[in-house]
Every structure is written in C-alpha cells, then in structure tokens.
Amino acid sequence: MENIQQKLNQLRAELREHNHNYYVLDNPTISDYDFDLKLKALQELEEAHPEFFDSNSPTQRVGGEVTKNFETIKHEYRMYSLDNSYSKEDLLDWEKRIKKLVDGDVEYTCELKYDGASMSLTYEDGKLVRAVTRGDGFQGDNVTANVKTIKSVPLQLKGNYPQKFEIRGEIVLPFDGFNKMNEERVANGEEPYRNPRNTASGSLKLQDSGEVAKRPLECLLYNLTGSNLGVSTQFESLEKARSWGFKVPEVAVLAKSVDEVLEFVNHWDIERHKLPYETDGVVIKVNNLQQQEELGYTAKAPRWAMAYKFKAEQVSTVLNKITYQVGRTGAITPVANLEPVELAGTTVKRASIHNADQIEKLDIREGDTVFVEKGGEIIPKIVAVDLIKRPLDSQQTQYIKQCPECGTELVRTEGDAKHYCPNYNGCSPQIIGRIQHYISRKAMDIEGLGGETVALLVNEGLISNYSDLYELTKEQVIPLERMAEKSAENLVNGIEQSKQIPFERVLYAIGIRYVGETVAKKLAKHYKSIDALIDASQEELEQVDEIGVKIAESVKGFFSADENILIINRLKSFGIQLKVSEEELEGLTELLKGKSIVVSGVFEHVSRTELKKLIEQNGGKVSSSISSKTSFVVAGDKMGPSKRTKAESLGIELLNEINFLQIIGIK
C-alpha cells in the first residue's frame, strides 16, 4: 500500500508541475496527449484506492460538484475598495498626504488593475482551503468548488510558504477565451455574452462546477494578507507569491516618484490594448509594508493605495426623456433615458444626471445629443451636450416641483444639492427603499428576503415599515408571486435570525440620514444603547468624535418623530438588539477617555492592529498624525525620526508598548 501512495504522490506532483508550467508560466514541457495519459492514470489509481482521496488532487479540477446555495463567509481581513485618481494633481495630493504621515523615502509598486471578479483565496499548510468572493468587503460567497476548476489556481503550493495566509486577486476571462465562448453561443443560436468581466463574475456563481471547468477562466494574484508572512515590501510579496506557484503578472515595477508612476501609467494606457485581459487602470501602492501599517485605512479604503483610472471611454447618443427617481430618504434623482448605445462592453440605456444644478450647468434637454462616460462610477453619467446637434424646437428643462410618485410638493434646503419629497410615511418608494436598506447585507442581512419581495410585501399591504417584518407568517407570504413553501420558510427564518444582529448594524439599518456604517459604529460605541442615543441632546451628539452639526441634527430629527419612536419600541418588543451586548461590553473601559493617541513603529508583544483595538476598547481615539492635540505616542522600534522630533518639540510623552499595556492593566 505504501508503494501505491508513493505512486499517487509522484503522479500528483508531476501533474501539478506540468499544470504550473502550462497555465502559469505559459511554458509547457509536455504535450497535451502525454498530460492526458498521466491524468487518466492518476484517475484510475484514485478510483481503485479511494482511501487515498485528496481534495486538492489535479483530478479534482474537472468539477462536478453542485452547489445550490453559496454559503456566506465573513472575511477574516476586510476586502477594502480603492480610492480613484484621474490626474497627476490627484496623485501629488495623495503623495503629500502620505508624506505627512510616514517618515523616510517612499517607494511605490505600480501594478495593472485587471477588470475581473475580486477573489480571496485562503491556504493552510500549502493547500487551498477556501475561495470567497469580495461580496460587500465584509463577507462574500464561498465559491471554492468552482475556483478549484481554474487551472492557474494552485491547489498545492511549492517552496517555503507561511502556514496560513490569504491571497487576493481577480478572476478574469481572457479575450481569446471569451471570443471562442461567444462563437459557440452564436453557432448554437444563443445570445452572445456582453463582456468578459461580467461573464467571469457570473461563471463563479454557476451551480455546477463541471460547467465552470469548461470556461477558460484565469486567476491573477496581487496581494498577500495575514500575519508573519516573512515579507517586508509589496514588491517582495509579489515575487514570493510567484515562487509559491501563483500566477502573478510580471508587469509590476518599483517607482521612486510620482513622475515614475506616471511613466508606467502612460506606457500602459497605450500598451494595455495588446494585453490578453481587460484592464481599466493602474494600482499604485506604498511599497514598504511597515509604512502601509502606519498609514492604515479610512472607513472605505487603504490610505496607502490609489487606483489611477485610464481615461474613460466616451460615446454620444440621444437623450429621449428625463425621468425622476425617489430614493429611500426622499431624495429625487433625475435619470436620462437614452437611445441604447454600446459603452465599455455593455449596452447603456440610462445615465445619471445627479441633480437640478447639473441639469442647469450643462443645460441638458430632452432631444439633445449627449456625451456619456463610464468613469469611476458603475452608473454611466452625462458629461457634455453636443450643442451643434440641438433641435431647433428645443425647450429648456424645467425641474419637477412635485414628487413623481405621490404628488407631494418637493423641498430643497439651503446648501443641499438635491430636492426631497417630505412625505416620509406616504411615499411608496421611500417606504420600500427604507425596508430594502434595513434587510441589506451590511445592515440586518436577512437571508431569503430580497428587494423585489420587499416591494411585493408593501404593495400587497402586508408591511408598511421594517418593524412589520417580525409579524409576518409563512401562511401570509406563500401566496406571493414566485414564493413556494420552502422559500416562505427561509424568509420567515431569516427574519427571526436577524434578531441576533449587533446594535451597531441595527443602528445603521434603521436608516437615519447621514448615519452610514462608520457613524453608526461610533454612535453605538459611545452611547451603548438606543435609549441613551434618543435621550442625547444635539449639543451632546456634537461632542462625539467625528459627529458634526449635520449628523447631530439628522439624529435628533429622526428620534423626534413619534412614528419612528413607535417603530423603535416595536423592534424592542420583538427582541432586536438595541443595545451593546454584555459580551461586547466585557473588557470595555473609559481609562483612555478623551485621549488622542498615535501608534508608531514596530512592536514586539502585540501587533499594531491589536494596539489600536486596545486604545478604542479603553475609550481612547487613535490618531494617524501627531499634533498639539495628541495625548501621547505609543512608540515602537523603528519609529520615524521626524515623528519623534515632532513629538519631542511639542512636549508629547512617548510610551513604549510595555508602559502602555501597564496603563490599561495588561501586565
């Protein structure tokens, strides 16, 4: 039996190496025929000896596993989006911000931004254990069975790799493969796919992994994530990942200045058209990983990275009609309904015009020939009007005065770009929009309940606000369109499970204007219960870190409405989490209340992330730069000399990590 296992291991290792040479290095060292013979021999041996089954064997790439429901998995490390830049000035501003926050010279790694489906792969002991889509950045779908069929994804690593880590990248569909797929579809009388990116993304959600295996997908990797990875720069991490067997594009370069970055950008703005994949820009990252840690993150993106977008494609078409949409907050958005036109691989029929000021500024009118662009935003926008082609009988656009849904007179407060419908409880799109926001993934994440079903429930008179969800029964929802008994059961169970969602997400879910995820977290942490938040005066709210007048007014306005208090009381009665749990409160103190603390350098006993967490758990505020408002600095090894000098010149105390841990009671 030992000989059989040795033979299996030998065949698997050989096939992995040939697979790597062919799909990653593009340098085959064996014919397709010989490869197939070896694969067949391995399959026969594995079938004869199922006791030696290996889920990461090369034979498992053919797929065949069926996934009916993709499990939602929380990312161990959040997958952030990137801030965008479009000019040299944007990059210079970014560089200035960086140099204020870190010491020493700054180098940049420049990489191409591939347009695919973002993916996080987790490896343990060199084996692929999990592949999860980006999702909302906090959690995504487990698509491991499908990703295992992609030949450029190593199932077993080689070399000296960390025991556990994640690697992020893009699943892409090369142009050649995309074109062949479309030729087959057209030959079969089927509609061709619209573009490679959407086709790649859709492939990952096919239920039969055998079907995914037939698609020529590739996986391009670019970012190692985890702890103790044995690398000190982004460029080194790319080289390491390549040596472990990953397909890491070779085009990345090191740049010492923004001018060198722009050389890379300008080169690839032209040369990208020769690449086998779709690209839409360049990603520039601070190369030094310690500097990356110093810079940290905003609520949405890393401060140490920037996406420089290539000039957006632009087309012209006719604007047939301007219609108006009502959002969940009552905000009115004008929408341009266009003569359909091809733009960046998709057919565009609608474009955003943002608000009345934009209409006036560009003098946009129905019947105009307009220029449409798909830039950083997903939704195309009108950027200009072709006045030469304007019809002689053209009429200036008169912005609507009444809500297009309920007829209520619109309002526009001073300093606000948008018009609003004030009919909070009687305007159908606002009611539906608020409930759709409440059930969304980042909010209550109610499984089995989607936006269309919410609209059906409201239109059928079964619910009129999100607290009504908790009284729904299976019998009430079964008669709804496309609702079977199992679906109805899942919906009711999903609503019940949402009662476990923590307070900070509930606070975001209830839909107070200007209270996004980050603000909701701050308010939940500060007040710890909905009752304390309701009782807070506007002046008290304004004293909370990063809560300005606008947010404070909105919070007070929300809770001053009787109907909102009624809904909150109903949520309480149903057992929704409207205060921070005992478990979350455990370990929280106010030892550092009112203190602004900077963390700088490399630490021995706890990580920088853990230090920041400890500061916040003990009531302090983590600041990224030293100023006269800084209470003290937790200084580690390799703290930047200019930061040290600045702290000393301002008379700010420097504590080492042992001193700091003693202050908060950790010996």
CATH number at residue 642: 3.40.50.10190
Q: Where are the alpha helices (DSSP H) in 80-220?
A: 88-101, 144-147, 175-187, 196-203, 209-213
Is residue 507 domain-shared with residue 579, that is, in the same domain?
yes
On whether both 321 and 359 belong to a single domain, the answer is: yes
Dihedral of alpha carbons 56, 59, 62, 64, sign: negative
Q: What residues make up the domain containing 332?
A: 314-389
Which SS3 state, helix, strand or coil, does residue 650 take? coil
Residue 396 inside a domain? The answer is: no
Q: How many Cβ atoms are within 10 Å of 629's Cβ, its own excluded?
A: 12
Q: Are residues 363 and 261 in the same domain?
A: no
Q: Residues 221, 169: contact at Cβ < 8 Å?
A: yes
Classify burial at 131, counting beta carbons within 10 Å of its beta carbon; exposed 0-12, middle 13-18, buried 19 or more: buried
Residues 159 and 244 in one domain: yes
pLDDT, greater one: 648 or 572: 572
Are residues 336 and 283 part of one domain? Answer: no
Domain boundary at 360, 389, 418, which?
389
pLDDT for the residue numbered 32: 65
- The reply to whether 325 falls in a domain is yes
Residues 163 and 268 placed together within one structural domain of the fold: yes
Residue 478, domain CATH: 1.10.150.20
Q: Which of 74, 99, 113, 401 is catalytic?
A: 113
Q: What is the CATH number of the domain that holds 14?
A: 1.10.287.610
In a domain, 354, yes or no: yes
CATH of the domain at 203: 3.30.470.30
The reply to whether 623 and 526 lie within a common domain is no
**Structural contact between residues 619 and 589, judged by C-beta atoms closer than 8 angstroms:** yes
113 is catalytic: yes
| Domain count of the fold of the chain | 6
DSSP structure string for 570-632: HHHHTT---B--HHHHTT---TTTT-EEEEESB-SSS-HHHHHHHHHHTT-EEESS--TT--E
- pLDDT score for 553: 92
Q: Token pair of 284, please?
A: 């520039």
| Position 26 confidence tier, pLDDT thresholds 50, 70, 90 | low
Last residue of a domain, one of 530, 551, 585: 585
The whole-angstrom separation of Cα 558 and Cα 379 is 30
Of the pLDDT bands very low, low, confident and very high (cuts 50, 70, 90), residue 25 is low
Task: Please compute the mean of the pLDDT values over residues 37-63 and round it to a whole number.
Answer: 68
* Domain edge (last residue) among 389, 408, 441: 389
At 46 the pLDDT is 67
Whether residues 146 and 238 share a domain: the answer is: yes
Rounded to whole angstroms, the Cα distance separating 460 from 476 reads 10
What is the value of pTM for the model shown?
A: 0.74
Residue indicated by tokens 């030949």: 151
pLDDT at 376: 53
Which of 100-109, 136-145, 282-291 is most confident? 282-291
Average pLDDT, the chain: 87
Say whether pLDDT at 586 is over 90: no
Residues 537 and 495 in one domain: no
C-alpha 56/C-alpha 126 separation (Å) is 10
* Predicted pLDDT of residue 545: 74
Contacts of 38 (CB under 8 A, 6+ apart): 11, 14, 15, 18, 30
User: From start to end of 327-388, where are the E strands?
Assistant: 332-343, 346-352, 369-373, 381-385
Residue 65 has pLDDT above 90, yes or no: no
Task: Give the tens place of pLDDT for each residue, 188-221.
Answer: 888 888 788 888 988 998 888 888 888 999 999 9
Reported as a pLDDT band with limits 50, 70 and 90, residue 378 is: low
66 pLDDT more than 80: no
157 and 209 inside one domain: yes
Give tens-digit pLDDT for 452-508: 899 999 999 999 999 999 999 999 988 887 788 888 888 999 999 999 999 999 999
- Angle at which helix 32-48 crosses helix 2-23, to 10 degrees, equals 150
* 171 plus 95 within the same structural domain: yes
Tell me: do 658 and 612 sit in the same domain. Answer: yes
Residue with the larger pLDDT of the pair 71 and 123: 123
The residues near 488 (Cβ < 8 Å, ≥ 6 apart) are: 474, 477, 478, 480
Q: How far is the C-alpha of 510 from the C-alpha of 317, rounded, in Å?
A: 40
The answer on pLDDT for 337 being more than 80 is yes
% of the chain residues with pLDDT over 90: 48
**344 domain-assigned:** yes
pLDDT tens for residues 503-541? Answer: 999 999 999 988 988 899 889 988 999 999 999 999 899
Tell me phi and psi for residue 593, to 5 degrees. Answer: -55, 135
